[in-house]
Structures are given as structure tokens and as C-alpha cells.
Structure 1
Amino acid sequence: MSLVLNTNISSLQAQNNLTASSSSLSTATEDLSSGLKINSAADNAAGYAISQRFQTQIGGLSQASQNASDAINLAQTAGSGLSQITSNLQSIRDLAVQAANGTYQASDRSAINTSVQQYLSEITRIANQTTFNGTNVLNGSTSSLSFQIGANVGQAINVQLGQGVTSSQMGQVSEVSTGDISGAFLNASGASGASMSLSGLSITGADGTSFTFSGSVTASSAQDVADAINAAGIDGVSAAVNASGGINIYSTGELAVNGSAVTGASAASAASGGFANLTSGAIAFGASGVGSAASGLAATGSAYTAGNVIQASGSLNGGDVLTVDDANQLISRVDAALASVSTFSSTLGAVQNRFQSAISTLSAQQTNLTSSQSSIQDTDFAAETAKLSQSQVLQQAGISVLATANSEPQNILKLLQ
């Protein structure tokens, strides 16, 4: 090896190696102090881009989970209001059942009606004042709300809130009211006690299913007819004798009353071959008086012809219990309202379960993405501390070697002595 003065190759090599070991030591120190092995894009350009994309998704999932929690809180707020409305509806129904009892006088029903009106007002107040962060959730003013439950656009759940539950928005029922049908139960001689078959009487309930009475079902009074309709268990349909001696039929949905002639199993039928006139080719409730003894037919009142469909209408608003008929109608309207509130409550309960499921899914996604991000950017302390020790030793050795290399030119002085 030549001995030169102007160029110290050994020193240059030692400097390069010392620079490399110093850089490695600096990197190890930064990684250990930050806990990250990618502290900037320069450390690992591809890894940095991937970890940032993961971080974007993780942040979005975390916020989406909070959004779902807010949605659950909103549903619980609405559910609490519905619970109170249900309690008030039950109280109204109890009072209506009480008022429908014939032992009460008009003044008694007026006193009962005072309480009914207060409950109706309270239902409307609850519906109008139940809000979540300024958004009303029970009076139908908010048609729907969209809850972002994902990190990306379009990952949302829509909750329908358009169903209002004020007293004016619930209790729609269909109603068929008849006149006096007592004449339908008189025989040809005008005496009471005749009975008729309800065979052919068909009523379509709220679920669209028609129920047709069999020939074995007979009635000897208007109350028997009402009892038979109630005993049939037709969806959403109920019946009661009205103050005129006729029948009121109520339905929570569309009400269709139709059928063939209902013949009477009475002396009138046997004597003349006619029929007690509950129907005249179609259901024709409203018979009054007695027909001629020769024909055995009772006079016919207002007819509801075959296939006639009466739409649900009205509401709880304005309902009262001042008469037995009013009380019976209010009972039917409250039943319809309770069905509406129950459906709304069930929907909100199902929505809460759905959001809870979403939170669980989001949590799992967030955990998995965080794990993937960690494998890319987090420091392995066991490996990094070993690298730190190695860098420290190399730096110390490099300094020592550099000092030796820098002293080599002094050997030239010995040659000049």
C-alpha cells in the first residue's frame, strides 16, 4: 500500500461508513422514540401511502360508529315518547269502555269525557314536543332521516319517521252504520222471536281477507249479529249495537260488506218462502218495521251493495264518549291507534337492533384495518433495539477507525527524519 499525503483513502472510507452508521443510528432513534417505522414518505413511499389510506378508513369507521350510536339514541327517544302515548291510549280506551256501559247517565259520560279530552290533548303534546337535537320524531314533520354508518359515500341507513302520532293522525277507521233491524227478527205475524241464518254474510277485514259466515250461524237479535261478527275474529273488525237498534261495524282498514241473500230460519220463511230482510241481494242493513204478513218481509233500509268498499277515515281528534255509540266508535279508533303506535314502536326497535349490528360490524372492520396498518407502520421494538445497539457499536468503532486513519499521514514525517 502506497503512503501518500494528499489523499487519505482510509479516512474517506471510514467517513462514509461512519456517515452510514450515524444515519442508521438516527433512524433507529427516531423509530424508537415515535413508535413508528414510517415517519415520513421518505422512509417508505409505498408503505406511507397505504398506511394513510388505512388511516382515512379507520377514522371514517370510527365516526360512522358514533353516528350509529346517535341513531340508536334518537330511536330510543322516539320509543320513550311512544311508550307514553300508548299509556294514554290505554287510559282513553278504559274510559271509553266504561262510558259504553248503559248504566251511566249523560252527566256521567260528560265527566268521563273530560278526562278523555285531556288524554287526547296530552297525546298531541307528546307527539309535537318529542325532539332529538331539534328534530321532531313523532309528529310526521320529518319524513325520513339518513344515518351515515360507513366510511364511504352511500353507506347509509334511512329511517322513516313520516308516521305522525298526534290525535289527529291516528284512529282512522271504516264504519258501516245501519238503521233499526229489529224488524228482521219478527215473524209473519209480527211477533218477535224469529231467527235468521247469517249464511252468505261476508265481511272483508283490515288485512284484505274476507270472512263468510256458514249456514250454522243464526241470530235472533241485533246483539246476536254483533256478537257473531266479533266472535268471527275478522282482522281489525268489530261490531256493536247502535242507539237506533241497528249495527255499527268498524274496521281499522278498508271495510267491504257484501254477500248473497241471508234467509231467515223463521216462521216467516216457512210460511211465505221469503226471508227476514237482513239483506236484499246484497247486505242491506237498515231494516225497520214489519213487512206484510203475506210476504213475511221486513221493510228495507239503506243498502250497502255488493262490493262496496268504505275507506278508513276520521281520527281520534274530536272523539268523545258522550253516548254509547260515540264510546264504541272511540274504542275502535283507539284500537286502530294502538295498532299504529305498536307498528311504529316495532319499527324503531328493529332499527335499533340494525344499528347495533352495524356498530359491531364497524368495530370489527376498524380492528382489522388497524391491525393491517400496524403491520406496515409500527416499529418492532425488539428488532429496532437490536439495530440501535448495532448502530451505536458501529458509530463508536467508526470514530475510532477514523481517528486512526486520520493519523496515518503523520507516518510520512518519520520518513523525512
Structure 2
Amino acid sequence: MSLRINTNVEAINVHRNLTMTNRRLAESLKRLSSGYRINSAKDDASGLAVANKFRADIQSLRVAKQNAMEAQSMLQVADGAYTKIYDILVRMKELATQAASSQTVQNQLVSEFQYLQSEIDRIAGSTLYNKTLLISTSNSGPGTTKANASATDGLTFQIGQLNDGQFRLNLTLDKADATSLGVSSAGSGAIAISDVAAAQNAMDKIDSAIESINQYMAKVGAYQNRLQYSIENLEVSIENFSASESTIRDVDMAWEVMNFTKQQILQQSGMAMLAQANMAPQQILQLLG
């Protein structure tokens, strides 16, 4: 080994290795403190791009799940309104059946029957969800002008992360006002129970309306079941996408602790060796004695 004073090659070599160890130790500290294997593009450029795509999809899927849950809530409101209208129709059928007997006193029956017809229209015109009419149109009666859309014209819910028809769900509800059901108190299709013949005719119209409202509720139930499956599928997708992102981005803590410990030992060893390398030129003083 050559003995030099101006250039301590051994110390330079030890310093280079110590600098590399310090850099690796700093990277290990960053990973352990953040929990991420990839903290910047230089750590893994392609992996970061894929992980970021998964992260964006996960956030979009979370919103899509929220959209599906809002659609479920909307359908629940519509189902409640259909149910009450069904109850009213059942009561109207009772009144019509009673009025169809010639010996029945009509006055009290007619009054209640007309009030129930009006209540069907009121329920249909006041069943809104976030300014959207559910079972009537926006011009079907008083108060409905406060709505800016109608589910009877169709609504679209984004239930996926891509702009594609397969990631959207279209829902259309049925009108359930008195005119649409054929049980209104005015117009060409009006029904009444003012006499036996009218009451008998009303019984047929109400039976038809009850059959229609049952079909509407069945349709809502089918939509709700479909949405429930969509929500469950979105939950699975979020879980799987999260696992994929974690595999790419997150650090293996056990392995990184092991690596951190190794770099610590190398750092301590490098410091000791640098001290020894710096003392080596002092041996030349022995030649001058």
C-alpha cells in the first residue's frame, strides 16, 4: 500500500460508501415514516403511474356507490308514496262496493270518495326527492312547479368509474296521479259513486288502478334489488382496487425494518472505518523520526 499525505484514497473510498449508506438510510426512514414504498416518481415511475390510476378509480367508485345509495333512497320514497296510494285505492274500493247497493245512503260515501281522489293527486304531486318529482309530472298539479325534473321522464345514475353505458343505470318510474290511474274526479275518464251504476263502474276502474299500482311497486322493488347488487359489486371492486394499489404503493414494513437495521449497522461501521482511514497517513510520521 502506497503511503500518501495529499490524497487519502482509502478515506475517499470509505466516504463514498458511507454517503451511499446514508442515502439508503434516509430512503428507508422516509418509507418507514410514510408507510409507502413509492414516495416520489423516482422511486418507481411506472409503479406510481399504475397506483395513481387505481387511486383515481377507487375515489370514483366511492362516489358511484354514493350515487347508487341515493338512487336507493329515492326509490324508497317512491315506494312509500305508491303504498299509500294503494291504501287509498283499497278504501275507495270499499266505498264503491258499499255504494253499489241501492239501499245504501250515498251522501257521506260520495264526500269521502271525492276527498280520497283529491288525496291521490296531492300525494302524487308532493312526492319529491331533491326537487325531482317521482310519480307525477312537473305540470300535473298545484305545487309541482317547485320541481325541476320528473322521474317519470327517466333519470340516469352514474354507478361506475368510466364514461360508458355499462357504468350507468337508467330508472323510469310510473305516474300515479288520479288521472293516470283512471280514478280521477274530472275529465273523460272520471269516476264517481253518486248512484249504483256509477259505483259499479267505479269498482272496475279501481280494480284496474290497484293492478297498475301493484305493478309499479313491483317495478320499484326490482330496481331496488338491482341497485343492491350494484352496490355490493362496487364494494368488492373498491376492496380489490385498494388491495392492488396497496401492493404497488405500500411498503412491506417487516422487510423495511430489516433493511433499516442493516443500513444503521453499515453507517456505524462506515463511520468507524472513516476514522481509521483518516488516521492512516499519520503512520508516515514514523518515517520522519
TM-score calculated relative to the size of structure 2: 0.90
User: What amino acid sits opposite 2:276 in the alignment?
Assistant: T
Q: From 218, 231, 241, give the equivalent of 1:359.
A: 231
Checking the alignment, whether the CA contact within 8 Å between 1:171 and 1:335 is kept in structure 2 is no
Q: State yes or no: 1:119 paired with 2:119.
A: no
- Measure the CA separation in 1 of the matches of 2:278 and 2:14: 9
Q: 1:342-381, aligned counterparts within 5 Å?
A: 342-381=214-253
Q: From 166, 169, 176, give the equivalent of 2:177.
A: 166
- Measure the CA separation in 1 of the matches of 2:227 and 2:16: 60
- Measure the CA separation in 1 of the matches of 2:219 and 2:107: 37
Deviations 1:63-92 (A, max 9, x none): 111111111110001000111000001101
Checking the alignment, whether the CA contact within 8 Å between 1:8 and 1:406 is kept in structure 2 is yes
Comparing both structures, which one devotes a greater share of its residues to helix? 2
Q: Secondary structure at the match of 2:171?
A: strand
Deviations 1:117-170 (A, max 9, x none): 111111111111111112110113411110111011121000012x21111221
Checking the alignment, whether the CA contact within 8 Å between 1:75 and 1:352 is kept in structure 2 is yes
User: What amino acid sits opposite 1:406 in the alignment?
Assistant: N
Q: State yes or no: 1:338 paired with 2:217.
A: no
- Show the counterpart of 2:100: 100
Deviations 1:304-344 (A, max 9, x none): xxxxxxxxx944xx421001111111111111211221111
- Show the counterpart of 1:268: none
Deviation, structure 1 residue 103: 1.3
Deviations 1:280-327 (A, max 9, x none): xxxxxxxxxxxxxxxxxxxxxxxxxxxxxxxxx944xx4210011111
Checking the alignment, whether the CA contact within 8 Å between 1:68 and 1:355 is kept in structure 2 is yes
Q: 1:253-402, aligned counterparts within 5 Å?
A: 314-315=188-189, 318-402=190-274
Q: From 274, 285, 288, give the equivalent of 1:413.
A: 285
Q: Secondary structure at the match of 1:146?
A: strand
Cα 1:29–1:375 shift into 2, 3 Å:
same
- Show the counterpart of 2:141: none
Q: Secondary structure at the match of 1:131?
A: coil
Q: State yes or no: 1:109 paired with 2:85.
A: no
User: What amino acid sits opposite 2:129 in the alignment?
Assistant: F
- Show the counterpart of 1:151: 161
Checking the alignment, whether the CA contact within 8 Å between 1:11 and 1:406 is kept in structure 2 is yes
Cα 1:58–1:50 shift into 2, 3 Å:
same
Q: 1:154-233, aligned counterparts within 5 Å?
A: 154=164, 155-161=167-173, 163-171=174-182
- Show the counterpart of 1:188: none
- Measure the CA separation in 2 of the matches of 1:416 and 1:327: 132
- Measure the CA separation in 1 of the matches of 2:288 and 2:201: 129
Runs of 4+ aligned residues of structure 1 deviating over 3 Å after TM superposition are: none
Checking the alignment, whether the CA contact within 8 Å between 1:96 and 1:328 is kept in structure 2 is yes
Higher relative contact order (CA 8 A, sep 6+): 2
Q: State yes or no: 1:43 paired with 2:43.
A: yes
Checking the alignment, whether the CA contact within 8 Å between 1:51 and 1:377 is kept in structure 2 is yes
Deviations 1:219-255 (A, max 9, x none): xxxxxxxxxxxxxxxxxxxxxxxxxxxxxxxxxxxxx
Deviations 1:79-116 (A, max 9, x none): 00111000001101110010001212xxx212211000
- Show the counterpart of 2:127: 130
User: What amino acid sits opposite 2:242 in the alignment?
Assistant: T
Q: State yes or no: 1:403 paired with 2:279.
A: no
Q: Secondary structure at the match of 1:344?
A: helix
TM-score calculated relative to the size of structure 1: 0.63
Q: Secondary structure at the match of 1:147?
A: strand
- Measure the CA separation in 1 of the matches of 2:23 and 2:98: 92
Q: Secondary structure at the match of 2:200?
A: helix
Q: How many residues align?
A: 272
User: What amino acid sits opposite 2:178 in the alignment?
Assistant: S
CA-atom RMSD, angstroms?
A: 1.5
Q: Give 5+ residue unaligned stretches, structure 1.
A: 173-312
User: What amino acid sits opposite 2:170 in the alignment?
Assistant: N
